[in-house]
Amino acid sequence: MNGAHALIQTLVDSGVDVCFTNPGTSEMHFVAAVDDVPKMRTILGLFEGVVTGAADGYARIAGRPAATLLHLGPGMGNGLANLHNARRAHVPMINIVGDHATYHTQYDAPLQSDIESVARTFGWYRHSMRTEDIAHDAVDAVAAAMGPPSQVATLVLPADVSWGEGAEPAAPRASSTGAVVADDVIERIAKVLVSGEPTLLLLGNRANDEASLCAASRICTATGARMLTEVFPTRLERGAGVPAIDRMQYLSEFAVSQIGALRHLVLVDAKSPVSFFAYPGKASDLVPDGCDVHTLAGLGDDVANALAHLADLVAADVEPVVAPASRPDRPTGAVTAESVAAAVGALLPDGAIVVDEAATSGLWSMGATAGAPKHDWLTLTGGAIGIGLPLSVGAAVAAPGRQVINLQADGSAMYTIQSLWTMARENLDVTTIIFNNRSYAILNMELQRVGAAAGPKAIDMLDLSRPNLSFVSLAQGMGVDAVAPSSAEELTAALERALREPGPHLIEAVL
Amino acid sequence: MNGAHALIQTLVDSGVDVCFTNPGTSEMHFVAAVDDVPKMRTILGLFEGVVTGAADGYARIAGRPAATLLHLGPGMGNGLANLHNARRAHVPMINIVGDHATYHTQYDAPLQSDIESVARTFGWYRHSMRTEDIAHDAVDAVAAAMGPPSQVATLVLPADVSWGEGAEPAAPRASSTGAVVADDVIERIAKVLVSGEPTLLLLGNRANDEASLCAASRICTATGARMLTEVFPTRLERGAGVPAIDRMQYLSEFAVSQIGALRHLVLVDAKSPVSFFAYPGKASDLVPDGCDVHTLAGLGDDVANALAHLADLVAADVEPVVAPASRPDRPTGAVTAESVAAAVGALLPDGAIVVDEAATSGLWSMGATAGAPKHDWLTLTGGAIGIGLPLSVGAAVAAPGRQVINLQADGSAMYTIQSLWTMARENLDVTTIIFNNRSYAILNMELQRVGAAAGPKAIDMLDLSRPNLSFVSLAQGMGVDAVAPSSAEELTAALERALREPGPHLIEAVL
C-alpha cells in the first residue's frame, strides 16, 4: 500500500478515526486513500480555522484526538489561531500537513514556506521523509498528542511520501494517565489544608470533570478552603448534581478581589493566575503578597488520582456539595443578553454541550444554567477569537445525540463563519445563538480600561454597525436554518424548536 | 507624545498613510492615537486575512506599502496565508503586531506565543523594546519594506512601548530604485539575443508594467526572441495599446510545450520556471535541456533601467508591437465561464483593475479582455487561495475612481468572504463576480493528474454542493448589493449597472 493508506490505517488503529480536512493538490493521494479505510470519517471545512477549531472541540468531548488535513504552510497558517487556542489548553490534535514532494523543495515553488518554524511554535513536529517511515511517524505523533501532557502534534507529509508504495501500518502504542504524584507532595498539601490558613484550590485543565470537582468539593467542605476554576476552562462539567465552581474573573481587578487574602494557593493542573493583558498601573501577577503557591499536580501528572488521594487524606467521610436542580422561568419582553441566558437556562437539555464565546454578552449565561441538567461548558482557552463555531462543529461530531448550544459573540463569529456550512453538510445538532450587539463591545471596554482617550476614528474601529451584519442571511447562504426573533418569547420558542428539530439552527439575538 | 502617536506620525511622514486594522486590547493605544494623526486612514477588516490581503492589493496599485494592525501572534497567524502570497510576490507591507507589555511576557499569559519565529518566515522582523526607539524602528521597517527588494516587514509593538510617553517622530529615509545592472551583463545578454539562437525572455515582478513590456516587445521584434510573463504576475499592465504577453501555463506539461525548444532563457526580475506542484513522473524543473539561463536583472536591481538599456542596444529604432483595440460582443444565452468572460470583455472600463482568482473558471477571461481599454491584472501570487476579495479591497482603496472587477472562484472566496463587509463599509467600487461551480474544480482535475483513484469519500471532499452556497445571501448579510442572473444577457446588464452605480456589487454566476 502507499504511504497515505498506511498513515490513515495507522491513525484509525490508534483510535484517531475522524479527520477534519481542507486539502489541496499535495494532499490528493491522502484524499484518494480515505476510501481505502472505511473507518476514517472525513469532514470538510471551507477554511482551515474551522478545521483546527473543530478538531479541538472534538478532542475536548471525545477525550482523544482528531486529525486535521491541511495544505502546506499557508493552509496550516489559516488554522493557526485555533491551533494556538488548542496549545494553550493542552488539547490533543494531529495535524497532517501536506507538503511538496521531497525532491521538489529544492525549486522553491510558490507554495513553499518554512512550515517547521511555524509548527514548532505550537507543539510537537516531525517532517516525514520516507514512505516506509510514515506509519511509525504517525504512531509517534499520536503518542505525542496524547501525552500526558497532551498537545498538538504536526506531521508533515510530503507528496511523494504519500504516493510512494511499500508502506505498512504500524501498531498503536498504549497510552498513559500520567505520572503518579508522590505521597509526600500530597501529604504536604494536606497539612496546608488542615492548617486552617486561608487557602484556595485553583482547578484547571483536566481537573474540571465531575470526579475532580467532587473531590475538590469534599476537600473544601472538610477544610474550609475555597475553590475556583481558571478563567477559561477547557471543559467544565456542571449543572444539577455536580459541585458548582466559579470561574476566575477575566478582568484582573475583579480577579484580585475574588481571590482575596490568601495564605496558600494550591494549583491542580492549573497555571498560577496572571492578568490576561497588562494595563498601565495594574498588577500582572495575581498571586497575593505573602501567599505560598503549591502544585498538587501538573501537566504530566495523574491529576484525578492526586485529587482523590488528597480528598481521602483530609475529607475521608465528607460528601461533596452539589448544585441543586433549578431553572429560570421562560423569559418575557425584550431580547437582551439576560433574556437569552434565561431561555437557555429554561430549556437546556440533559447532557448538552455549551460552547461559550459570548464575550461581554455572556455575563448571565453561567448563572442561568447553574441548576440546569448536567452539561459540559467549553470556552475560548487561548484568547484567539473565532473558536466558538468550529468548536461546536467538533463537539457535535464527537457526541451524536447530545445537543450543542453555541453562545456566540458577533465579532468573534465572523472569523470562522464558514463553520455553518460544515454544520449543514454534516447535519449537526448545533444551535448557534448570535449575540449581535453590533460592536467589538469588549474592546470598547478595554479602550477605556487602558486609559486611552478615544476619538471618532478609534471608536469607528470597534463598531460593527456600518453596515449591520445579518447573521440570518449569512446562515441561510450556507444552508443553515436561521431566525431573528423580536421578543424573548419568540426567542424561547425558536430555541425550543431548534432543540427539537435535527440539524443546525441559528438564532440571531439582535441586542 | 506616546509611542503609538510617534509611530503613526512617522509612518505617515514616510508615505504610509493607510492602515488596515483588526485590533485587540494590546493595540488600544494605537487605536486611540490614530485620531491624533488626521492623515492616517484606518480601515477595519473583520478577519486578518482580509487585512493582510488588502494591504497587498493596496501596495500593488499604490506602489507603496500600507500598514496592517494585528493582534498578537494569533492575529498575525490569521493573516499568514495572504502574508505568504505577499512574500512570494515581493510586495511591500508593514505589519504592526501588538504584543503584551514587555514586563508582562514573563507571565506567559494566554495570548502569548512565539511571534518572532512565525514572522521571520515571511520577511523582515523587529521587536521594538523602548518607546524612545519606536519611531526609528518604524523608519527601518519602511526602508526594509520598500527595498528593493521590497518585502513584508513586521514590527512588534509591545503595549507599554505604545503607551509610554516621551517619543518623537523620526524623519523618513529616501527610497531607492535598486542597483544599476552592470553594462557587461547587459551587453552579454545583447549578444545572446542577436545570435539568432532560440531565446525566451521571462518577465516577472516589476517587469510587467507598460514601459517594461514596451522595451521587451521592442527587443523581441528586433531579435526574434519570444517573451512570456510568469504564471502568476503580481501586477500586469495590459489591454489596447500595451504589448500583449502570455502568462506561462500553470500546468507543467502545458508550460513545457509553451516554452518549447530553447537555447537561452533570459530572466527579467523572474525566477527560473518550475512546476507549481510535483507529480509522479513529471518534471519539476521546466528549463529545457541544453538551455542556458541568463539573469538580466533580479530582485534588488533597477529592472526598468536594465531593460531600457538592453532595448537601446538591440532594438534602437524598433517600435513595440501593441495589442489592438477590440472587444467581444455582449454575450447571449446561458451563464457560463465563457459568457462571463465575454461580458467583462465587452464592458471593462478604461483604467479598470481586474483581480483574478477565478481558478479553473478564468480560462477565457484574459482572451476576452486582451483588446479592452488599458487595465491592470492582479493574480494569486503565492498559491494560498483566499486572496481575491481582500486584494480587491486594497486595490480599490489605492485607486479611487478606478473600477475593480474581481473574478472570483467560489471555493477560494470562502476563505476571506468577510472582505465584502469592508467593501460595503468603505463604499468601494468593487464588482465581485463569483464563478459558482459548486466544486473545488481544480482539485478534481488535480486528483486525476496525480494518478490517484477516487472513491466516493474522496470526491465528496472536493464537492461544494452539499449544501449549495448562496453568495447572494452571503453578500446581503454583509451589506453588499447582490444578484444571481439567470442568463448571459441578465448578467451583462447586472455588470453594466454595477459598474455605473457607486459602491460594491456582487454577481453570482451559477455555472
Residue B125 near residue B90 (C-beta atoms within 8 A):
no
Q: Which residues contact A479 (CB under 8 A, 6 or more apart)?
A: A420, A421, A424, A425, B467, B468, B469
Query: Which residue of chain B is at minimal alpha-carbon distance from A2?
Result: B452
Residue that the C-alpha cell 502617536 belongs to: B5
Write out chain A residues lying below 8 Å of B70, CB-based.
none
Judge: B382–A110 Cβ closer than 8 Å, yes or no: yes
- Structure confidence at residue B452 (pLDDT): 67
- The pairing of strands A226-229 and A352-357 is unpaired
The whole-number average pLDDT for the span B61-85 is 98
Write out chain A residues lying below 8 Å of B293, CB-based.
none
Residue B466 near residue A470 (C-beta atoms within 8 A):
no
Beta strands in A135-229 (DSSP E): 152-158, 199-203, 226-229
Of B228, B225, B229, give the one whose Cα is nearest residue B263: B225
Beta strands in A32-175 (DSSP E): 41-44, 67-71, 93-99, 123-127, 152-158
Judge: A108–B274 Cβ closer than 8 Å, yes or no: yes
Considering only CB atoms, B28 lies closest to which of A23, A42, A452, namely: A452
Mutate: best of B21, B96, B436, B473, partner A, most A CBs <10 A: B473
Quick: pLDDT tens for B124-164: 999 999 999 999 999 999 999 999 999 999 999 999 999 99
CA distance to partner chain B, nearest, from residue A292 (Å): 17
Considering only CB atoms, A121 lies closest to which of B25, B111, B118, namely: B118
Cβ neighbourhood burial of B283 (10 Å; 0-12, 13-18, 19+): middle
- Of A18 and B462, more confident: A18
Write out chain B residues lying below 8 Å of A44, CB-based.
460-461
- Structure confidence at residue A428 (pLDDT): 98
| 3-state SS assignment for residue B483 | strand
Torsion sign across C-alpha atoms A33, A36, A42, A46? positive
Taking 80 as the threshold, does the pLDDT of residue A289 lie above it? yes
Per the DSSP assignment, residues forming a β-bridge with A467 are: none
A·B CB contacts under 8 A: 324
- Go through chain A and tell me how many residues it has: 511
Average pLDDT, chain B: 96
Mutate: best of B252, B412, B450, B476, partner A, most A CBs <10 A: B450
Write out chain A residues lying below 8 Å of B25, CB-based.
276-277, 442-443, 446, 450
Query: Distance between CA atoms of B468 and B439, rounded to whole angstroms?
Result: 10
Q: Tell me, what amino acid is at A12?
A: V
Residue B334 near residue B358 (C-beta atoms within 8 A):
no
Residue A130 near residue A161 (C-beta atoms within 8 A):
yes
Average pLDDT, chain A: 96
Q: What is the ipTM of this complex?
A: 0.97
Query: Which residue of chain A is at minimal alpha-carbon distance from B283?
Result: A104
Q: Tell me, what amino acid is at B7?
A: L
Residue A62 near residue A376 (C-beta atoms within 8 A):
no
Work out the end-to-end distance of chain B between its first and last CA atoms, rounded to an integer number of angstroms: 57
Of A27, A446, A388, A87, give the one whose Cα is nearest residue B77: A87
Query: Distance between CA atoms of A431 and A352, rounded to whole angstroms?
Result: 11
- Structure confidence at residue A452 (pLDDT): 67
Judge: B274–A381 Cβ closer than 8 Å, yes or no: no
- Structure confidence at residue A480 (pLDDT): 98
Considering only CB atoms, A114 lies closest to which of B121, B160, B421, namely: B121
Quick: pLDDT tens for B224-270: 999 999 999 999 999 999 999 999 999 988 999 999 999 999 999 99
Element holding A388 (H helix, E strand): helix A388-398
Judge: A473–B469 Cβ closer than 8 Å, yes or no: no
Taking 70 as the threshold, does the pLDDT of residue B1 lie above it? yes
Judge: A24–B443 Cβ closer than 8 Å, yes or no: yes
Write out chain B residues lying below 8 Å of A80, CB-based.
73-74, 77-78, 80, 118
Q: Which residues contact B493 (CB under 8 A, 6 or more apart)?
A: B485
- Structure confidence at residue A449 (pLDDT): 78
Query: Distance between CA atoms of B461 and B392, rounded to whole angstroms?
Result: 28
Cβ atoms < 10 Å from Cβ of B173: 12
Query: Distance between CA atoms of A455 and A113, rounded to whole angstroms?
Result: 40
Three cell numbers written together for B179 = 542597483
Phi, psi (deg, nearest 5) at residue B502: -65, 160
Cβ atoms < 10 Å from Cβ of B496: 14
Considering only CB atoms, A31 lies closest to which of B80, B277, B461, namely: B461
- Structure confidence at residue A187 (pLDDT): 98
Query: Distance between CA atoms of B451 and A164, rounded to whole angstroms?
Result: 12
Query: Distance between CA atoms of B296 and B201, rounded to whole angstroms?
Result: 9
In eight-state DSSP terms, residue B501 is S
Judge: A25–B446 Cβ closer than 8 Å, yes or no: yes
Angle formed by the axes of helices A303-314 and A210-223, nearest 10°? 30
Three cell numbers written together for B195 = 545570435
Taking 80 as the threshold, does the pLDDT of residue B400 lie above it? yes
Q: Could you tell me the pTM of the whole model?
A: 0.97
Contacts 24+ apart (CB under 8 A), A34-39: A34/A8, A34/B455, A34/B457, A34/B458, A34/B461, A35/B454, A35/B455, A35/B456, A35/B457, A35/B458, A36/A1, A36/A5, A36/A8, A36/A9, A36/B455, A37/A5, A37/A8, A37/A9, A37/A12, A39/A12
- Structure confidence at residue B333 (pLDDT): 98
Write out chain B residues lying below 8 Å of A460, CB-based.
42, 44
Q: How many degrees, rounded to 5, is the angle at CA A163 between CA A140 and CA A129?
A: 45
- Structure confidence at residue B244 (pLDDT): 98
Three cell numbers written together for A79 = 488554522
Phi, psi (deg, nearest 5) at residue A321: -95, 120
Angle formed by the axes of helices B488-500 and B337-347, nearest 10°? 40
Mutate: best of A457, A468, A470, partner B, most B CBs <10 A: A457
Write out chain A residues lying below 8 Å of B75, CB-based.
81, 384
- Structure confidence at residue B175 (pLDDT): 87
Query: Distance between CA atoms of B391 and B408, rounded to whole angstroms?
Result: 11
Burial B333-363 (b: 16+ CB within 10 A, else e): eebbbbbbbbbbbbbbeeebbbbbbbbbbbe
Three cell numbers written together for A344 = 437557555
Write out chain A residues lying below 8 Å of B275, CB-based.
104, 107, 109
What are the strands of the beta sheet with B353-357, ordered from one edge? B236-238, B375-379, B353-357, B404-409, B430-436, B505-510, B481-483
Q: How far is CA A129 from the centre of its chain?
A: 32
Write out chain A residues lying below 8 Å of B286, CB-based.
none
Residue B111 near residue A384 (C-beta atoms within 8 A):
yes
Q: Within 13 Å, how many C-alpha atoms sit on residue B247's CB side?
A: 24
Mutate: best of B21, B436, B461, partner A, most A CBs <10 A: B461
Query: Distance between CA atoms of A383 and A391, rounded to whole angstroms?
Result: 14
Quick: pLDDT tens for A181-237: 999 999 999 999 999 999 999 999 999 999 999 999 999 999 999 999 999 999 999
Percent of chain A predicted with pLDDT > 70: 100
Angle formed by the axes of helices A48-62 and A388-398, nearest 10°? 50
- Structure confidence at residue B443 (pLDDT): 86
Angle formed by the axes of helices B388-398 and B48-62, nearest 10°? 50
Judge: A477–B472 Cβ closer than 8 Å, yes or no: yes
Burial B111-140 (b: 16+ CB within 10 A, else e): bbbebbbbbebbbbbbbbebbebbbbbbbb
Query: Which residue of chain B is at minimal alpha-carbon distance from A120?
Result: B117
Considering only CB atoms, B34 lies closest to which of A120, A386, A458, namely: A458
Quick: pLDDT tens for A388-434: 999 999 999 999 999 999 999 999 999 999 999 999 999 999 999 99
- The pairing of strands B236-238 and B375-379 is antiparallel
Taking 90 as the threshold, does the pLDDT of residue A444 lie above it? no
Considering only CB atoms, B78 lies closest to which of A415, A451, A462, namely: A415
Quick: pLDDT tens for A135-184: 999 999 999 999 999 999 999 999 999 999 999 999 999 989 899 999 99
In eight-state DSSP terms, residue A222 is H
Judge: B232–A110 Cβ closer than 8 Å, yes or no: yes
Write out chain B residues lying below 8 Å of A473, CB-based.
473-474, 476-477
CA distance to partner chain B, nearest, from residue A78 (Å): 5
Considering only CB atoms, B455 lies closest to which of A35, A78, A473, namely: A35
Quick: pLDDT tens for B357-380: 998 888 899 999 999 999 999 999
**Helix, strand, coil percent values for chain A (each to nearest 5):** 40, 20, 40
